[in-house]
Amino acid sequence: MTNSIFLNWASMAVSIFNTILLLWLGATVILNAEHRNWGVYLATGGLMLGGAFFVSHSAILGLGVNQLTVRNMTFWWTIGLIPTTLLPFAWYVIILWFSGFWVTNPALRRRHRLFFFLISIMLVGGLLSLFAGVLMIASPPGDFIVIRRTIRYSLFGVPVLAIGYSIYVLACFGLSVDALRQPAPSNRIMGSRARQRAHPWLVRAAVSLLVVSLLVTGVMLWIVEDTFRRSFVDIYAESQELIITIDLIISSVIAVAIFMLGQAVVSYEVFTGKTLPRGGLFKHWQRVVILAISYGFVIGAVRGLRFRNIYGLLLATILMTVFFALVSWRSYVERDRFMDNLRPFILSHHLYEQLLTSSSPQEVNIAGPFTVLCEEVLEAKVAYLAALGPMSALTGPPIAYPDNLTPKLPPLNSLMSQFTSPNIFPVPVSEQTYSGATWAISLWSERGLIGVLLLGEKRAGGVYTQEEMEIARAVGERLIDTQASGVMSQRLMALQRERLTQTQVIDQQTRRVLHDDILPTIQTALITLGADAAESNNVSEAVNTLTDAHRQISDLLRNMPTTSAPDVVRLGLLPALKRAVENDLSHAFDEIIWNIAPQAEETLKQIPSLTAEVLFYAGREAVRNAARYGAEQKLDRPFTLTISAELGDQLTIAIEDNGMGINSSTKSKGSGQGLALHSTMMAVIGGEIIIESASQQYTRVSLQLPLERIPSPEKILANSPATQPLFESSIE
Buried/exposed 89-99: b ≥16 CB within 10 Å, e otherwise: bbbbbbbbbbb
- Give the per-residue pLDDT at 717: 43
Contact in structure between 98 and 188 (CB atoms under 8 Å)? no
Segment 662-684 shows an average pLDDT of 67
Q: What is the pTM of this model?
A: 0.57
- Give the per-residue pLDDT at 556: 62
Segment 307-322 shows an average pLDDT of 78
Buried/exposed 577-600: b ≥16 CB within 10 Å, e otherwise: bbebbeeebeebbeebeeeeeeeb
- Give the per-residue pLDDT at 132: 58
Does residue 237 register a pLDDT over 90?
Answer: no
Residue bearing the bigger pLDDT, 117 or 676: 117
Fold for the domain defined by 565-718? Heat Shock Protein 90 (3.30.565)
| Separation between Cα atoms, residue 260 and residue 577, nearest integer Å | 72
Q: What is the 3-state secondary structure (H, E, C) of 620-674?
A: HHHHHHHHHHCCCCCCCCCCEEEEEEEECCEEEEEEEECCCCCCHHHHHHCCCHH
Does residue 153 register a pLDDT over 80?
Answer: no
Residue bearing the bigger pLDDT, 27 or 526: 27
Q: Does domain 5-307 have CATH number 1.10.1070?
A: no
- Give the per-residue pLDDT at 594: 92
Confidence of residue 665 (pLDDT cuts 50, 70, 90): low
- Give the per-residue pLDDT at 477: 87
Does residue 374 register a pLDDT over 70?
Answer: yes
Residue bearing the bigger pLDDT, 632 or 189: 632
Average pLDDT of every residue of the chain: 75
- Give the per-residue pLDDT at 719: 46
Using CA atoms, how far residue 427 sits from 437, 452, 469, 470, in Å, is: 11, 11, 12, 14
**Lowest model confidence (mean pLDDT) among 104-113, 235-244, 322-331, 349-358:** 349-358
Q: What is the number of H-type helices and E-type strands within the chain? A: 25, 12
Select, from the ranges 64-68, 261-265, 452-456, 499-503, the one with the highest average predicted confidence (pLDDT): 452-456
Does residue 724 register a pLDDT over 70?
Answer: no
CA 229 to chain centre: 66
Does residue 203 register a pLDDT over 50?
Answer: yes
Strand order in the sheet with 399-401: 399-401, 383-387, 448-455, 439-445, 427-428
| Separation between Cα atoms, residue 551 and residue 115, nearest integer Å | 104
Confidence of residue 701 (pLDDT cuts 50, 70, 90): very high
> pLDDT per residue over 461-483, tens digit each?
777 877 788 888 888 888 888 88
- What proportion of the chain, given as a percentage, has pLDDT over 90? 5
Segment 543-552 shows an average pLDDT of 71
Using CA atoms, how far residue 501 sits from 233, 512, 590, in Å, is: 104, 16, 37
389: left (phi over 0), alpha (psi -120 to 50) or beta: left
Confidence of residue 642 (pLDDT cuts 50, 70, 90): very high
| Residues whose CB falls within 8 Å of the CB of residue 275, separated by 6 or more in sequence, listed in order | 34, 188, 189, 190, 191, 466, 469
Select, from the ranges 42-46, 213-217, 417-421, 565-569, the one with the highest average predicted confidence (pLDDT): 42-46
| Separation between Cα atoms, residue 10 and residue 12, nearest integer Å | 6
- Give the per-residue pLDDT at 114: 86
Segment 154-168 shows an average pLDDT of 67
> pLDDT per residue over 382-438, tens digit each?
999 988 877 777 777 888 988 878 777 888 877 777 787 787 768 888 888 888 888
Segment 223-237 shows an average pLDDT of 62
Segment 157-163 shows an average pLDDT of 64
Segment 646-670 shows an average pLDDT of 78
Residue bearing the bigger pLDDT, 254 or 419: 254
Quote the Cα angle for 426-430-432, to 5°: 140
- Give the per-residue pLDDT at 430: 86
Does residue 233 register a pLDDT over 80?
Answer: no
Confidence of residue 656 (pLDDT cuts 50, 70, 90): very high
Name the residue type at position 283.
Answer: K
Segment 323-337 shows an average pLDDT of 79
> pLDDT per residue over 258-285, tens digit each?
898 888 887 766 676 665 666 667 788 8
Task: State which H helix or E strand residue 193 sits in.
Answer: helix 191-226
Confidence of residue 100 (pLDDT cuts 50, 70, 90): confident
| Separation between Cα atoms, residue 327 and residue 304, nearest integer Å | 28
Q: What is the CATH number of domain 364-476?
A: 3.30.450.40
Name the residue type at position 685.
Answer: I
Task: State which H helix or E strand residue 445 sits in.
Answer: strand 439-445
- Give the per-residue pLDDT at 128: 64
Segment 149-153 shows an average pLDDT of 57
Select, from the ranges 154-168, 508-522, 588-602, 681-695, the one with the highest average predicted confidence (pLDDT): 588-602
Q: Alpha helices, DSSP H only, in 227-239?
A: 232-238
- Cβ atoms within 10 Å, residue 621: 21
| Residues whose CB falls within 8 Å of the CB of residue 194, separated by 6 or more in sequence, listed in order | 186, 268, 269, 270, 276, 277, 463
> Rounded to the nearest 10 degrees, what angle do helices 5-32 and 38-63 cross at?
160
